[in-house]
């Protein structure tokens, strides 16, 4: 844990430096009243560092060489700009009331829980199947032509795996650290708690209640993913962050005076889809903002927004093309380039079908699933869900109907008209729900949009009730603190084991290492898994199974792979 803290501090400093520098450049494009919000600075730094790594990974491996470049750039920024980054998270504790003081110490407890969980062995099955091996490939070679031919999952490119490779420090010879998810969880748990802090101070706004909902959801739905470099939980957290910030900008009528904030949220939205393609509907939010600026004739701002977005997304497309032959894999079954390393169109279609089947009804054989009607699939899918997941799905249409029925109340109509601009956010998240259901309706892929929709349906009613019944506010603070205490105690009991803590005092747990066996390809041989389709980080390179029709394109693995029947 000691080394983990040093690594987390290093990540914090690097992202802060690059985020501050990028924020200064954005202010020159469109000066605004935006403050240097600490969360925006850190996420902007994350976007910049990941984009630099994405560009570099086309030409070099992401190892000590890139770390030298990244660190040198940070030092150069400090020397040339003489910036002194100061990120203030909270006002002086002397200004806290008693519930806020208690809440602050509960926050510290929750952060400790997250830090402990971040140092545990990853339990995400996909990390064993391809996350860890993908990170090892990124650490070892530039983007490898036809890498997806070795194993289709290695073609599931994600910017999150890239930034994990940047801060894995594998070249130290200790292990490949997997602490980026822990960093993001720590950062956003503080961000969400700031809403709770304001609730405890009597500011009962919609965005603060939504932050409360997401704070609790982290421990209920995502806590077991903190130790994994997986892509699902970070995508969910970023969607929740974008929802909260959008509520503040749009519902509180701050869009015009905070154009820099909106610009950064656009970049984070674009980064989101390079992290996980299932977040694609979130691009509707910056699209509305671009249309708004076109109407205002802010052509310079729109132009720079599009250029910046392209700088983020183009390296992602190029990496995909190199590793699979397609700009997006596996959701783009048209072979535009006909490279000799391209995955065949048939395999791309098959992989897309497998993803949809596995996320929908993996208990049914694929052949039978493909013959089922959409109606039968939907009925069987719902019947196979956990009770809490059924409740989430049913609550969204029920909440929508209930909100409409409340329009018979005059006070509710006035409340809705006052917050009419928020309907754009509702629309985006409802589109996200539909997109999730028709593409890959596994709940770990959909928590971002689904829980966002649930809170958008429920919490306006809560805010309305608080404004109508002032007496409820007197006991709310203490009930809230008790709720946080119960949630943190449950997380501690279910996930933290004292016997494991002694092994992580100095170092976090390493990836597990499962059994493997030699397997043969056309002109090379490597080790393949001997268990459940999982190679984890070692041995490397490792595949799921051999294939005598697959060959290396040259004398080194960096030359890539293609099929030669």
Q: What is the DSSP string of 207-246?
A: HHHHHHHHHHHIIIIIGGGTTS--SHHHHHHHHHHHHHHH
Instruction: Give the contacts of 550 (CB within 8 A, at least 6 positions apart).
Output: 149, 150, 521, 522, 561, 562, 563, 564
Q: Residues near 121 by Cβ (< 8 Å), separated by ≥ 6? A: 227, 509, 510, 511, 512
Q: Is the pLDDT of residue 65 over 60?
A: yes
Q: Is the pLDDT of residue 387 over 80?
A: yes
CA–CA gap between residue 214 and residue 458 (Å, rounded): 13
Structure confidence at residue 255 (pLDDT): 58
pLDDT range class, residue 475, cuts 50, 70, 90: confident
Q: Which residues contact 475 (CB under 8 A, 6 or more apart)?
A: none
- 10 Å Cβ neighbour count for 407? 10
When pLDDT is averaged across residues 329-342 and rounded to a whole number, the result is 87
Q: Is 135 left (phi over 0), alpha (psi -120 to 50) or beta?
A: alpha
326 contact partners, CB below 8 Å, separation of at least 6: 320, 332, 333, 334, 335, 336, 342, 343, 348
**What does the pLDDT average to over 13-36?**
85
Tokens of 175: 């292990």
**Order of all β-strands in the sheet with 516-520:** 516-520, 525-529, 542-543
What is the predicted pLDDT for the residue at 454?
93
Q: What is the rounded average pLDDT of the residues 347-365? A: 89
Look at residue 326 in the predicted model and tell me its pLDDT.
94
DSSP class of 518: E
Query: For 410-443, how does the pLDDT look when each residue is reduced to its tens digit (9 = 90+)?
Result: 888 888 887 777 888 999 999 999 999 998 899 9
CA nearest to 207, candidates 546, 460, 504: 460
Helix (H, G, I), strand (E, B) or coil at 526: strand
| Under 8 Å between Cβ of 196 and 104 | no
- Residue 284: its pLDDT value, please? 94
Judge contact between 212 and 241, C-beta under 8 A. Answer: no
Q: What are phi and psi of 200, to 5 degrees?
A: -65, -20
Domain extent listing, the chain: 518-563
Contact assessment for residue 276 and residue 231, using Cβ atoms and an 8 Å cutoff:
yes
Residue 265 has pLDDT above 70, yes or no: yes
CA dist., res. 218 & res. 231, Å (int): 15
Name beta bridge partners: 547.
Answer: 521
Distance between CA 232 and CA 45 in Å, rounded? 21
Residue 235: its pLDDT value, please?
A: 96
Q: What is the CA angle 169-172-174, rounded to 5?
A: 95
Average pLDDT, the chain: 88
User: Is the predicted pLDDT of residue 549 greater than 60, yes or no?
Assistant: yes
pLDDT band per the 50, 70, 90 thresholds, residue 367: confident
Helical residues (DSSP H) of 276-364, grouped into ranges: 284-295, 299-324, 345-361
> Does position 43 have pLDDT exceeding 90, yes or no?
yes
Q: Quote the pLDDT of residue 453.
A: 94
Cα separation, 203 vs 242, in Å, equals 21
pTM over 0.75: yes
- pLDDT of 92 > 90? The answer is no
Task: Give CA angle at 293 (292, 297), nearest 5°.
Answer: 125
**Could you tell me the two tokens for 462?**
């809560």
Beta-carbon contacts of residue 481 (< 8 Å; ≥ 6 apart): 99, 102, 103, 106, 200
Q: Which of 25-34, 214-223, 290-299, 543-552 has the lowest mean pLDDT?
A: 25-34
Quickly count: other Cβ atoms within 10 Å of residue 2's Cβ. Answer: 9
Residue with tokens 């005092």: 505
| pLDDT at residue 532 is higher than 90 | no
Q: Answer yes or no: is pLDDT of 499 > 60.
A: no
């Amino acid at each position: 844990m000691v080394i983990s803290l040093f690594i987390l501090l290093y990540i914090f400093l690097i992202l802060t430096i690059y985020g501050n520098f990028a924020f200064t450049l954005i202010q020159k494009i469109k000066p605004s009243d935006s403050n240097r919000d600490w969360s925006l600075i850190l996420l902007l730094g994350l976007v910049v560092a990941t984009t630099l790594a994405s560009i570099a990974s086309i030409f070099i491996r992401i190892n000590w060489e890139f770390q030298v470049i990244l660190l040198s750039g940070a030092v150069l920024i400090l020397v040339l700009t003489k910036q002194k980054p100061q990120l203030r998270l909270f006002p002086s504790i002397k200004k806290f009331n008693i519930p806020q003081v208690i809440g602050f110490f509960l926050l510290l407890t929750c952060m400790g829980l997250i830090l402990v969980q971040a140092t545990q062995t990853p339990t995400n099955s996909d990390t064993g199947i391809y996350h860890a091996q993908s990170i090892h490939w990124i650490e070892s070679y530039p983007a490898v032509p036809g890498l997806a031919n070795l194993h289709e999952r290695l073609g599931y490119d994600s910017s999150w795996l890239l930034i994990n490779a940047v801060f894995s420090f594998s070249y130290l010879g200790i292990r490949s650290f997997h602490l980026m998810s822990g960093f993001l969880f720590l950062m956003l748990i503080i961000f969400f708690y700031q809403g709770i802090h304001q609730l405890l101070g009597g500011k009962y706004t919609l965005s603060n209640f939504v932050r409360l909902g997401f704070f609790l959801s982290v421990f209920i739905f995502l806590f077991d993913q903190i130790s994994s470099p997986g892509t699902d939980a970070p995508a969910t957290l970023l969607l929740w962050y974008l929802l909260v910030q959008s509520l503040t900008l749009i519902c509180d009528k701050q869009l015009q005076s905070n154009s820099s904030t909106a610009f950064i949220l656009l970049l984070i939205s674009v980064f989101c889809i390079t992290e996980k393609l299932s977040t694609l509907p979130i691009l509707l939010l910056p699209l509305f903002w671009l249309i708004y600026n076109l109407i205002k004739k802010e052509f310079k701002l729109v132009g720079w927004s599009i250029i910046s977005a392209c700088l983020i997304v183009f390296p992602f497309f190029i990496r995909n093309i190199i590793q699979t032959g397609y700009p997006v894999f596996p959701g783009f079954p048209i072979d535009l380039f006909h490279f000799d390393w391209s995955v065949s169109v048939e395999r791309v279609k098959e992989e897309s079908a497998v993803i949809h089947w596995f996320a929908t009804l993996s208990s049914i054989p694929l052949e039978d699933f493909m013959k089922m009607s959409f109606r039968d699939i939907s009925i069987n899918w719902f019947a196979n869900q956990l009770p809490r997941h059924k409740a989430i799905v049913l609550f969204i249409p029920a909440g929508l109907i209930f909100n409409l029925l409340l329009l018979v109340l005059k006070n509710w109509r006035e409340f809705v008209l006052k917050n009419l601009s928020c309907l754009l956010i509702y629309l985006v998240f409802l589109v996200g729900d539909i997109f999730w259901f028709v593409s890959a309706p596994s709940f770990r892929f959909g928590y971002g949009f689904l829980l966002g929709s649930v809170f958008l349906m429920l919490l306006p009613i809560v805010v309305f009730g608080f404004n109508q019944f002032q007496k409820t506010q007197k006991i709310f603070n203490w009930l809230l603190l008790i709720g946080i205490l119960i949630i943190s105690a449950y997380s501690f009991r279910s996930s933290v084991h004292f016997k494991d803590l002694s092994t992580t005092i100095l170092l976090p747990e390493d990836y597990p290492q499962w059994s493997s066996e030699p397997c043969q390809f056309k002109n090379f041989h490597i080790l393949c898994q001997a268990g459940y389709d999982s190679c984890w980080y070692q041995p490397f390179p490792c595949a799921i199974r051999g294939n005598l029709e697959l060959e290396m394109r040259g004398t080194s693995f960096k030359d890539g792979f293609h099929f030669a029947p």
